[in-house]
Amino acid sequence: MLLAVAGLDKNALDERTKILASGNWSSFSPGDRAAFLFAHKQAKSPWAITSDDMRGLIDQFGQERALDVLWWACRCHYMTRVADGFQLPLERENVFDAPATAAGKPGEKKP
């Protein structure tokens, strides 16, 4: 949903999601790859995060932006674990899409 807010259309969102899910992130910038690898490691084995992992983020983003990556990844992992723990369903529709028209489909923009 955040990518939709950033301005990606449905086709771009679908393509980005497919690439991210594939695990082949070679088409992304080195900074993006570093952030994805860090977040993936943090999700799967947070106890294994080392100062070298943080140093890799700092090398790519600088100290303040690396802290942003760390904070945002922590927040997302926390929210996922809370939702999983309470068995909360995921939204079926993108809440940032335009509301459905009376005769249209969900997500269609009004003329």
Average of per-residue pLDDT across 43-67: 95
Q: Around Cβ 76, how many Cβ atoms within 10 Å? A: 14
Provide the domain limits for residue 32.
28-90
Q: Which pLDDT value is given to residue 44?
A: 92
Which of 80, 109, 103 has its CA nearest to residue 10? 109
The answer to whether 97 touches 9, Cβ cutoff 8 Å, is no
7 within a domain of the structure (yes/no): no
- Is position 52 within any domain? yes
Task: Indicate whether 46 belongs to any domain.
Answer: yes
Q: What is the pLDDT of residues 89-106, one digit of tens each?
A: 777 676 666 776 655 555
Q: Which residue type does 107 have?
A: G
Q: Is residue 9 part of a domain?
A: no
Total of domains in the chain: 1
Record the pTM: 0.69
Per-residue pLDDT of 56-91, as tens digits, reads: 999 999 999 999 999 999 998 898 888 888 888 777
Indicate whether 38 belongs to any domain.
Answer: yes
Output the 3-class SS for 28-80: CCHHHHHHHHHHHHHHHCHHHCCHHHHHHHHHHHCHHHHHHHHHHHHHHHHHH
Kindly tell me if the per-residue pLDDT of 10 is higher than 90: no
